Amino acid sequence: MPIYEEMSAAQLSAAYAKEKAHYEDCKAQGLSLNMARGKPSKAQLDEVSGLLTAISSVDDCFADNTDVRNYGELAGMPSARAFWADILGCKPEQTVIGGTSSLNLAFDVISRAYTHGLLHSPKPWGKEEKVKFLCPAPGYDRHFRITEFFGAELITIPMTTTGPDMDLVELYIKDPAVKGIWCVPKYSNPDGIIYSDETVHRLASMKPAAPDFAIMWDNAYCVHEFEGDYVEFPDIIGLCQQYGNADMVYEFASTSKITFAGAGVSVLACSEANVGYFLKLFSVQMISYDKVNQLRHVRYLKDKKNTIALMKRHAAIMAPKFRVVAEYLEKQITPCGFGSWNDPKGGYFVSMNTMPGTAKRALALCKEAGVEMTPAGATYPYGIDPNDSNIRIAPSLPPVEELEKAMDIFCTCLKMAALEKLMNK
């Protein structure tokens, strides 16, 4: 069989008829499969069920001279701050422990930047004539949406294999209206790229025109290898400080994909000056975050070493799913001569570029057949992928048998959309 691009009209028609027949068979099964979001599977959640009993008596509720059940300690339990400092390589004083959602902490930082300004803001961003924000893409739709929500102009920065295109970043930051950049430095969402040392140093050493430029450093997958050993990462807080940019970076992380996705503990790490500034702001909205859950996590996860050991157990559940994705794409798509995809060693996603101009159609077909995917375009600012090509595959939630069915349908849809395009040329 020739590859699609080299097929005759008759061959294209024949290939399409074959895929279509298979598609109709699948559709008739009335399936409901989901590869849309980076949700942990039931097996992973069960793996950490010890968390449920980590605090089960009155005596368990005391630590750091504090009764975790009562109000107080807005910055978080000292032991929780020490735990996160251990994971992130920063100092405990450089952390604020939040509720279940690091996204909410990131939202609050940007929200407060708009209403009150950051530590070095000449004025609140909401009073600026224009605010622009750098969005390495493909990237995380929820990041982009936060800055879009507040009216920032989103600027697409292409991702390279070493992280965001730094030449372009260094060009854009000369504009004082450019107030920040979204980064997922380790196993980027969705590309699974680890920013190179050079990229990280170039980011940490930037001298942007905006005095209140914010690197939004979402270290969501900091210990999330599903293949191979734990990969060290630099302490971005210390690095920015070394370059004289101590207050430029806001790092986020959480246990959402370590323990329970919906009931974990999050952290904001930043300079001591920023911690002081944000505690003052946060004190208006909160008396304290959930310290029972903080202590529950510290008791259960213990420290970085133990957490990395736990991540190996998650990896044993995750790795086979990523192998299924790779196998299906290689077996079903590679011979057709279109598309490319990454081969991550951690994180929660496979990023796929299908034939340009066919991503939306392919995912519409998926939906019709009961396979839910992240909407096409979601990985780009404003939800618009100029090439209509990038698709984020999130294989973590379904069990392997379901995933195989979903990938089979997905590949069929990719092929149908590609064939339709070639037939209509």
Which residue ranges make up the site for a second copy (CB under 8 A)? 37, 39-40, 42, 45-46, 49, 52-53, 55-58, 60-61, 67-72, 99-101, 103-104, 107-108, 111, 114-116, 126, 142, 145-146, 149-150, 256, 260-263, 284-293
396 vs 402: CA distance, rounded Å = 11
203 vs 261: CA distance, rounded Å = 30
CB of 227 to a second copy, least distance (A): 23
Give the number of other CB atoms < 10 A from CB of residue 69: 12
Q: Which residue number, 240 or 394, has a Cβ lying nearer to a second copy?
A: 394
Residues 250 and 94: beta-carbon distance below 8 Å? no
Q: Which residue number, 290 or 408, has a Cβ lying nearer to a second copy?
A: 290
DSSP string covering 254-294: ESTTTS-TTS--EEEE--HHHHHHHHHHHTTT-S---HHHH
Q: Which residue number, 73 or 235, has a Cβ lying nearer to a second copy?
A: 73
Give Cα separations from 378 to 42, 55, 63 (angstroms): 26, 39, 43
Bond from prior residue into 190 cis (ω within 30 degrees of 0): yes
CB of 101 to a second copy, least distance (A): 5
CB of 48 to a second copy, least distance (A): 8
CB of 163 to a second copy, least distance (A): 25
DSSP string covering 53-85: GSS-SGGGGEETTEETTSS--TT--HHHHHHHH
Q: Which residue number, 18 or 42, has a Cβ lying nearer to a second copy?
A: 42
Q: Which residue number, 104 or 205, has a Cβ lying nearer to a second copy?
A: 104
Task: Name 154's bridge partners.
Answer: 133
Q: Which residue number, 18 or 71, has a Cβ lying nearer to a second copy?
A: 71
51 vs 261: CA distance, rounded Å = 13
CB of 27 to a second copy, least distance (A): 24
CB of 149 to a second copy, least distance (A): 5
CB of 370 to a second copy, least distance (A): 18
Within 247-384, strands assigned E span 249-254, 266-269, 340-341, 350-353, 371-373
Q: Which residue number, 41 or 351, has a Cβ lying nearer to a second copy?
A: 41
Radius of gyration (Cα) for the chain, nearest Å? 23
